[in-house]
Amino acid sequence: MPQGIEALASITAEGQTSHTLFQAARPANTFGYTREQQIEALHKLREPFAPTEIRHLPRVWCGACKNSRGQGCQKHRMSKCGKCGQRMPEGGHIDLAYVGHAEATNRLLNVDPFWDWEPLTVDERGLPQLDGYRGLWIRLTVCGMTRLGYGHAGDKTGGDSVKEIIGDAIRNAGMRFGMALDLWTTSDLEIIESGGDSLEQDAVGEQEDRKRQETAPAPAGQGVDHLARLRSQVSECWDNSLALAQIVLDAEKCRVADQEVPLKTGGTATLRDLLNARITELGQAAQGGSTERSAA
């Protein structure tokens, strides 16, 4: 058996370093899969799941709703959710899209019939050992590639919790390969991690924006009928596309661009649509041609 420097050299040759010397050895066998085959397998794992394979898990983010014992709060009334099918506070919860254990297992079997998982640690009886949070770390091996995953059963106990932990760990490790990764959106993660604070901040921001718009000083010429003023300008600049474009900007600034104005041909149109249509017409007109002046 090598000793001293020879022993250190043998460890280095086998690939262990100071970072991995005291960690459990990871499987190094690729089971005959080439690098190209592994990459192809990863692409197959990342293929989107069919809508029929996707489920929705409700998560209440509103603190008041959580403490209401199923009654909701003043902001969020209880109703049946169209996605998850459960009675939840409307606007006080989100539905996380996920795939179940059976769907995840089916995808793994389609990619690699010989896929396997193993617990990271076992107890004195050789059974998977849970950590201090009653969660389980596992290794998932697909096409000779091994990655870690973590499973937890929440408040469940007994045999059902064991099955829940295993299924959750396999799905979690599968996500490290890209499986069902598209179902986890950044916004969902932010809501869960912030406990709904991100939604509250968005709502506060929208309210502040509305208040600023309502209390903002009126544009120059306060008290003037802006729509009448702009219609008069349109009549004078009907053949000038540049001037009409400026009037559109002025109308947006005065918040009258979407107000209806009468047309000579009958009916009405928003000031914005009328001016944009005229600008397009002028742009397509032949050079040198004159157009008949008209009023909006």
Using the predicted structure, report yes or no on whether residue 258 has a pLDDT greater than 60.
Answer: yes
Distance of CA 56 to the CA centre of its chain: 14
Per-residue pLDDT averaged across 207-230, rounded? 57
Using the predicted structure, report yes or no on whether residue 210 has a pLDDT greater than 80.
Answer: no
Alpha-carbon gap, residue 199 to 70, rounded angstroms: 21
Q: Which of 39 and 61 is assigned the larger pLDDT?
A: 39
Tell me the CA distances in angstroms from 115 to 110, 123, 168, one per residue in order.
10, 23, 16
16-49 pLDDT per residue, tens = 433 334 444 444 567 788 888 888 988 999 899 9
Tell me the CA distances in angstroms from 33 to 73, 94, 177, one per residue in order.
55, 41, 16
Instruction: Please report how many Cα atoms fall inside a 13 Å half-sphere around the Cα of residue 43, on the Cβ side.
Output: 6
pLDDT of res. 256:
87
Domain boundaries, the chain: 47-194, 226-284
- Partners of residue 54 on adjacent β-strands: 99
Per-residue pLDDT averaged across 112-118, rounded? 95
32: DSSP letter: T
Instruction: Please report how many Cα atoms fall inside a 13 Å half-sphere around the Cα of residue 138, on the Cβ side.
Output: 24
Question: In the numeric block, which tokens belong to residue 146?
Answer: 């091994």
Question: In the numeric block, which tokens belong to residue 173?
Answer: 């490790």
Are 169 and 138 a contacting pair, CB within 8 Å? yes
pLDDT of res. 93:
85
Tell me the CA distances in angstroms from 204 to 71, 200, 207, 211, one per residue in order.
24, 6, 5, 11
